[in-house]
Amino acid sequence: MALAAFHAGATPVFALQAQQNSGAVNPPQQKPNQTSPWVFTAGGGSSIPGFSVGGLSLILPSPTGDMNEVGNEDRTLFNLVVPNSNRLVAAYLPAQDLAHLRAKTEGGLSKYALVEALRSAEFSDIDSSDFSTLVNTLGNQMGSIVNADFEESEAQFNRRMKTLKLNEKLSLGKPVMLGLLFTQKNAVGFGMITPVTINGVTKKMVMATILLRVRQRLLFAYVFAQYKDEQTADWTRKTAEQWTDAILVSNQEPDYESAPEQEPDSDQDQKQAPSQQ
């Protein structure tokens, strides 16, 4: 499952604006107050978007204070950069970048984040053993997974552009692996820097890929930023880890797997049993 879910989601993002500027893709205007399927009110009155994943209601807070979930209508635009094997759950952008997309201006996306679910496993219960196996597989085969995934991501995106009759060509350069960013019981994060070329314009993207186990559901989260210097990589790592913590804390539930089974207290039962006449 980990092999199919891992993908270079950041790669085609520059082409979103190329598509809009050509007039082929026009994201609909978001209606006032339209956000996610439902929201939860956190302390201080702020709203935290909630989403349905595998039949469960999960709370997915924003990665940073200046990034917001784009809402149902604008989210459809990002479906163009999600592989067929995955379902886009949420997309986050700074307000300024979202305005660039809606206005079709050449502002570029400075940073963004995605949450996706693997379609074939969305309704599967992933226990701690399953998750450990996925993490080990991802860690041991990271290099080969990335190479194969980049090839498929590039081919898939170019096929979509051909279907839309757009003269857009994507080329992915060799990524520089940043290795393991962080690890914890129900999450692990990996990082990389990769050159992305669209229409002859090459930019470097820093990407953090996060594998999460949230209430026995498998999620992939991604944090992306245009690379400027080492501080960009540091920001991506810290943001990815802090966002992971926020998601896990927001969806905490009792750890049924590790809780010992309670045996009936025979003495207590006898004391509470009604006397027989």
pTM of the model: 0.75
Q: Which amino acid appears at position 39 of this protein? A: V
Element (H, E) at 50: strand 47-53
Q: If the chain, 277 residues long, is cut into consecutive pieces of 10 residues, what is the mean pLDDT of each piece?
A: 35 38 38 35 48 96 95 85 89 89 72 94 95 83 66 78 77 86 94 87 91 96 94 96 97 63 51 49
Instruction: Give residue limits of the domains in the chain.
Output: 2-251
The closest alpha carbon to 25, from 99, 70, 78, belongs to 78
CA 78 to chain centre: 12
Looking at the DSSP bridge assignments, the partners of residue 195 are 204
DSSP at 274:
P
DSSP string, 15-44: HHHHHHHHTS--PPPPPTT--SSEEEE-GG
Q: Which amino acid appears at position 18 of this protein? A: A
Looking at the DSSP bridge assignments, the partners of residue 180 are 190
Output the pLDDT for position 10: 38
Looking at the DSSP bridge assignments, the partners of residue 88 are 116
